[in-house]
Amino acid sequence: MTKESRRISALMTLPAAEPDSYFEETAPPRTLSDLEDKVAKFIQIHRLIPGRKVVLVTSGGTTVPLETQTVRFLDNFSAGTRGATSAEYFLAAGYAVIFFHRQFSLQPYSRHYSHSTNCFLDFMDVNESGDLTVNHKYTSKMKQVLMQYRKAKEESLLLMINFTTVREYLFGLRSITRIMAPLRHNAMFYLAAAVSDFFIPENKMVEHKIQSSGGGLSLELEQVPKIIRPLVKEWAPEGFIISFKLETDPSLLSEKATKSLNTYGHQVVIGNILTTRKRIVTLFFRPEDAPGPLDIVMSDEELKQEQEIEMKIIPELVHCHDAWITKSQAFSN
């Protein structure tokens, strides 16, 4: 393999490619039709329930393959903690939830045990009769989580769909939002996934594993298209849309969150700083919806008791969504 052939040629474009051209030039994932069938059936169930609100929660990071037959890929930092935790609180608030998550990332309910610092087997005991039991120290909490999970499952309140690559995420997001659009104002979109900013187009990707024998590797990536604009304007124009802004420099957060609201016209940006995201977040609103940003803060005592900031975020968003529905219905009439 020559040095020239090792170069993955995908020239960076500024601004990012338009979403329409991305979807025209990129083949859809082979799993897309199955995803659409599952979502359509889920939405049909909940459209028949008066006043039912449905939220799409995206969660976890996306990968960017470097080869068509993927061995190596770039990844985005996210375990899916905020998305999985938020989904539970949305379910508790009476929403039906489509949980669109990175494969093997944290999931609602199982998150309490799948990524615990203890091995899952540490929660188990064997009694004198040789039967498998739950250790008495964990019985109460595990029973509570199990009952919540069973309620969500038995009442068809939770649909779990996974993605891995940024392509699967973008195509899946477009399909899900379009299918949810008939819910109009009762649809909420909680975009907590950590989506890759750059990618390699399929037509510029090498097919086989990149060999390490050819020396250093140079990558030039194109920008992933910005999908909030078509989501707001075309895919689900009557939905309640929440995006996230994660920064490491606190001085940038307010400016970038406000710019996002002004650029795309959605309802809420949840801003957080990487090092304090479990202690404090800021909700940014459009000027016509609220007088200013709202800080949501966890006290030291609340964190000591292992309470989660989502227990405050989600009720606030539910209140905002209800107000949005009331305002939209009054405007329609």
Whole-model pTM?
0.92
Burial class (CB in 10 A: 0-12, 13-18, 19+), 271: buried
Both tokens of residue 185?
Answer: 């104002």
The whole-number average pLDDT for the span 254-278 is: 96
pLDDT digits (tens, 9 = 90+) for 197-211: 999 998 888 899 988
Whether residue 90 contacts residue 108, with contact meaning beta carbons closer than 8 Å, is answered with no
Beta carbons within 10 angstroms of residue 260's beta carbon: 19
pLDDT digits (tens, 9 = 90+) for 242-262: 999 999 999 999 999 999 999
What is d(CA 331, CA 333) in angstroms, rounded to the nearest whole number? 5
Percent of the chain predicted with pLDDT > 90: 80
**Would you say residue 7 has pLDDT above 50?**
no
The whole-number average pLDDT for the span 62-87 is: 94
**Would you say residue 6 has pLDDT above 60?**
no
Please give the torsion angle defined by the CA atoms of residues 260, 263, 267 and 272, in that order, rounded to the nearest 10 degrees: 0
Q: What pLDDT score does 174 carry? A: 98
| 231 compared with 120, residue with greater pLDDT | 231
Q: What pLDDT score does 3 carry? A: 37
- DSSP secondary structure code for residue 267 in this structure: S
CATH H-level superfamily of 1-115+139-238: CoaB-like (3.40.50.10300)
> What are the structural domain ranges in the chain?
1-115+139-238, 256-333
pLDDT digits (tens, 9 = 90+) for 282-299: 999 999 988 899 999 999
